[in-house]
Amino acid sequence: MWDIVVVGSMMMDLVSTVERLPKVGETIHGISFEHNYGGKGANQCVAAASLGATTAMVGLVGEDSYGKKYLRHLRELEIGEGSTSGIDLEQVFQTSKAMTGIASIWVDGQGNNSIIITAGANSDLKVSDLKGADHLLKKAKMIVCQLEIPIETTLEVLRRAKEYGCRSIFNPAPAVKDLPAEFLSYSDILCANETEAELLCGFPVDTDDACQRALAFLLERGPNTAIITLGERGAVFATKDSPKTQFVTVDQVKVVDTTGAGDAFVGALAHFLVADPEGEGKLREAVRKACKYASLTVQFPGSQKSFPAIENMMADFFD
């Protein structure tokens, strides 16, 4: 049995570091450029594995050099000292019909980023491709999915999770306007940031009162748990059983790069919920630890390469 199965995207990140983001029509000099490994699905899978979860990935890359490099990266990824990834890649395939997904990322001097994604092979991950992954979904303790693959595929994953009695985390990112209502009704745990919550709810989610309204709105539409991440302010959550909004704060840190921080949160959340699954208090602890893990990743550049393995962290980090 796998702790966590992630169905989602795999992207090659093309990262330019700049002093500031360019204005429309402006050309500016960059400070540095590098290739990193990203994509929300793979990021979340790597984050969970880095914390000790047994994970499996379901995804698609191209038969190009980026796709080959990505698969080699995941196979050779060191999760802890002297160990290799342990991420099950049985259901990660290459296709000749599309290139590997690309994310063009600009990171400014304050660590803020702007991202353009070209889904590539991720757009070819069809519902029919889930047939081979069904045994993974049936045995998973937690299923995680997002919106960088076709929405009908993600919806089918959530539907099967509910059918199989498996807990699921749905991360509605990138944000999609007018998302079908079935996504919320099939989701067990909905985890969105403020922008994504605003699109789902139809009103700005930029104050504490608005967060409370948004959580109530989302819970009425299906999920058992709703979580809204607030960046440097932490997160808020509520459940159907305990609908009172709970706020979780996080210590302020020096931000270098926020790329992948939301994915680090989702992957960490999945891990901590599987590792210690019972009760409202356990949920608060999982959210708190996920916030703390995400706040650590923003202090380093990149997405997956900024995700520390549990073996390389101070023993009392999550205390």
178: left (phi over 0), alpha (psi -120 to 50) or beta: left
- Give 163's contacts (C-beta < 8 A, 6+ positions apart): none
Q: What angle do CA 255, 260, 264 make, to 5 degrees?
A: 100
Mind giving me the DSSP string for 172-220? --S--TT--THHHHH-SEEEEEHHHHHHHHTS---SHHHHHHHHHHHHT
109 and 20 Cβ atoms separated by less than 8 Å: yes
297: left (phi over 0), alpha (psi -120 to 50) or beta: alpha
Mind giving me the DSSP string for 132-159? GGHHHHHH-SEEEE-SSS-HHHHHHHHH
Which of 13, 263, 276, 316 does the annotation list as catalytic? Answer: 263
* Token output for 230: 């607030």
Tell me which residue has tokens 């205390």: 319
Select from 120, 179, 115 the least CA-distant residue to 147. 179
**Catalytic site residue 206?**
no
Task: Report residue 66 CA to chain centroid gap.
Answer: 21
174 and 117 Cβ atoms separated by less than 8 Å: yes
Task: Report residue 255 CA to chain centroid gap.
Answer: 19
55 and 144 Cβ atoms separated by less than 8 Å: no
Kindly report whether the peptide bond that precedes residue 204 is cis, defined as omega within 30 degrees of 0: no
Catalytically annotated residues? 263
